[in-house]
Structure 1
Amino acid sequence: MNNSRTSPYISFTRENWETLRMSTPLTISEEGLAKMRGINEQISLEEVVKVYLPLSRLLNLYVLETRRLYEVTNTFLGALQKKVPYIIGIAGSVAVGKSTTARIIQALLASWPTQPRVSLVTTDGFLYPNKLLEERGIMKRKGFPESYDVRRIIEFLREVKSGRIETKVPVYSHLSYDIIPDQYQLVDQPDILIVEGANVLQTPQSRKNNGKPYVFISDFFDFTIYVHAEEKDIKRWYIERFQTLRRTAFQDKTSFFHQYTKLSEDEATNFAKEVWEEINAVNLKENIYPTINRARLIIEKRYDHSVQNIMLRKL
């Protein structure tokens, strides 16, 4: 454990972090983990035990403490206030493994003895429809901050934090590469809500907001996580994932990317490299990575997807 006075974080090696699991039980089976893994990820049960069980224990302690604060506030006010969800935000690059991290955390938290209701929402559902992106000439900037309906995300989080019943989230299809019309995910007063997306920790670049103070997506988060890896490794994972999808999901003729199944192996690799350099790398450098120090906890991955270090912000 590195506790440098000049850093706002306490840094843990994988070995140091593992000891903080204490007696937290493993509630995920190999079969269950297989369903949570992202494409071309090799996460093992050992990784869950050494990295995610200690994290689950930490998050559970935070959630319990927040509930105590809720009870104290009710005592002070002399009135029962509506209990609202504890919201966890997870950020990081495309292809870094955010979704797998989110699914594992969801499963572990939901298995705690208190049996909290844990919902998971990805910000993909808040992307503007392709038609609108094309009209605005930003189809090639899909995934950049301007391609999301940020106002709608904030409205959704406001509704959740107000305790509203059955808040709607648009559904995004990775097969059609677009929002599915008139289809929604219902988020019905969960105890814990996980929000996963590349840009969820970002703040607006401009200071102008018609004279009104800005509200950030992260203002609604109670705990924030950034999943980090070296860019060269993420690039390789992205290319590997594209090649895997080309041999599997893209084979579906209704897939937006079906056209790329006709490319040779080398052509597909070159295409994926081009997409990475022109789109994803730019978004990572300009919008995603600069938000890393806004996270309360940083998960650092090695070249093989395994977690190497964990950094927890000092209180």
Structure 2
Amino acid sequence: MSVPKHQPASMFVDFEREAWRALRAATPLTLSASEVEGLRGLGEHLDLEEVADVYLPLSRLLNLHVAATQSLWTAQQAFLGGFSQKVPFVIGIAGSVAVGKSTTARILQALLSRWPDHPHVELVTTDGFLYPNRVLDERGLMQRKGFPESYDRRALVRFLAELKSGRAEVSAPVYSHLVYDIVPGEFVPVRRPDILILEGLNVLQTGPLEGGKMPHTFLSDFFDFSIYVDAHEQDIRTWYVDRFLHLWKTAFRDERSFFRRFAELTEEQAIARALSVWAEINGPNLAQNIAPTRSRARLILMKGSDHKVRRVRMRKT
């Protein structure tokens, strides 16, 4: 009689797409095909089927988490015999450049805002908390833009701390992808949303601050739920090159674009440049800083080469 081999315990439960889709239950599809098209990122093949199979079950799960958190808040207020302003439910979304985390964030914002218990859903990206190019130049960090040290992490933590303290309004800086820099003096007001989605490369990062000092508080300390959008690196690299080529044909030709000089490249040169940027910046950042935080997420969306989610991993606790 053979003895079964010991299977190592896992923190996650895995769902193939078919099994995950069934968890949608009776959740209605509240987005139209034209709305989904407007939310889709460059090079992605997001459609209503993907929304119904992947993001509707996820919105149902998140709605249950929000409801449970609100119930706990109500119970705590009854225990304390007082009343304080409800604070936002915060969702962190992490993942590589070009993996589609921004589209995931926009789809979830649209779906969650149509649940009756939490109609006010705000989306903030961490791009606005990058140091201005002037500062990055002074610190020799322009070639490490997107790495943890290129962000004002103290300002990011302060932003979430003020939001979670119940402040009536908190401001987030604005970043322009066209000029590749912070827009001076421009801010987006965030006014007590029911849900805040914070999307960025390193939102699950737990590394040290400048100078090697470990912070007392991490961004993820303020998260009520976290998602990591994942794919094989070779697929993400291909998506990045495809996106670079699309921008080379469009946005890079704008006179205001930081990357205007790339518009003069041939297609072969543009591809070589994109691969170089990946090899020197985005690839190392993924390997050293982003991918190691994957297991800290509450839920992982694993994509195939066609950008469609093939598998979902969810933490058991």
Deviations 1:117-163 (A, max 9, x none): 00000000000000000011110000000000000000000110011
Whole-angstrom distance in 2 between the partners of 1:71 and 1:64: 11
The number of residues matched between the two structures is 311
SS at match of 1:120: strand
SS at match of 1:184: strand
1:227 aligned onto 2:229: yes
1:128 aligned onto 2:131: yes
Give the alignment's TM-score, normalised by structure 2: 0.96
Amino acid at match of 1:13: E
Q: Give the alignment of 1:77-96 within 5 angstroms.
A: 77-96=80-99
Query: Compared with structure 1, are the counterparts of its residues 131 and 74 closer, same or farther at alpha carbon in structure 2 (3 Å cutoff)?
Result: same
Whole-angstrom distance in 1 between the partners of 2:129 and 2:99: 20
Q: Give the alignment of 1:260-271 within 5 angstroms.
A: 260-271=262-273
Structure 2 gaps of 5+ residues are: 1-6
Deviation at 1:308, TM superposition (A): 0.4
SS at match of 2:23: helix
Query: Compared with structure 1, are the counterparts of its residues 207 and 10 closer, same or farther at alpha carbon in structure 2 (3 Å cutoff)?
Result: farther
Please name the residue that 1:307 is paired with: 309
Please name the residue that 2:250 is paired with: 248
Please name the residue that 1:278 is paired with: 280
Q: Is the 8 A contact 2:113 2:119 kept in 1?
A: yes
Amino acid at match of 1:165: A
Amino acid at match of 1:143: G
Please name the residue that 2:3 is paired with: none
Deviation at 1:114, TM superposition (A): 2.4
Whole-angstrom distance in 1 between the partners of 2:122 and 2:157: 17
Deviation at 1:251, TM superposition (A): 1.5
Deviations 1:194-215 (A, max 9, x none): 00000000102479987x8620
Structure 1 gaps of 5+ residues are: none
Deviation at 1:59, TM superposition (A): 0.1
Deviations 1:219-256 (A, max 9, x none): 00000000000000000000000000111111111101
Whole-angstrom distance in 2 between the partners of 1:274 and 1:300: 26
Match of 2:57 among 32, 54, 59: 54
Please name the residue that 2:176 is paired with: 173
Q: Give the alignment of 1:107-256 within 5 angstroms.
A: 107-205=110-208, 214-256=216-258
SS at match of 2:87: coil
Q: Is the 8 A contact 2:208 2:215 kept in 1?
A: no
Amino acid at match of 1:48: V
1:99 aligned onto 2:102: yes
Deviation at 1:116, TM superposition (A): 2.2
SS at match of 2:216: coil
Give the alignment's TM-score, normalised by structure 1: 0.96
SS at match of 1:21: coil
Amino acid at match of 1:243: L
Q: Is the 8 A contact 2:126 2:199 kept in 1?
A: yes
Q: Is the 8 A contact 2:149 2:209 kept in 1?
A: no
Whole-angstrom distance in 1 between the partners of 2:125 and 2:179: 17
Deviations 1:9-63 (A, max 9, x none): 0000000000000111111111111111111111111000000000000000000
The percentage of counterpart residues that share the same residue type is 56
SS at match of 1:308: strand
Query: Compared with structure 1, are the counterparts of its residues 195 and 44 closer, same or farther at alpha carbon in structure 2 (3 Å cutoff)?
Result: same
SS at match of 2:42: coil
Query: Compared with structure 1, are the counterparts of its residues 306 and 186 closer, same or farther at alpha carbon in structure 2 (3 Å cutoff)?
Result: same
Please name the residue that 1:44 is paired with: 47
Deviation at 1:271, TM superposition (A): 0.4
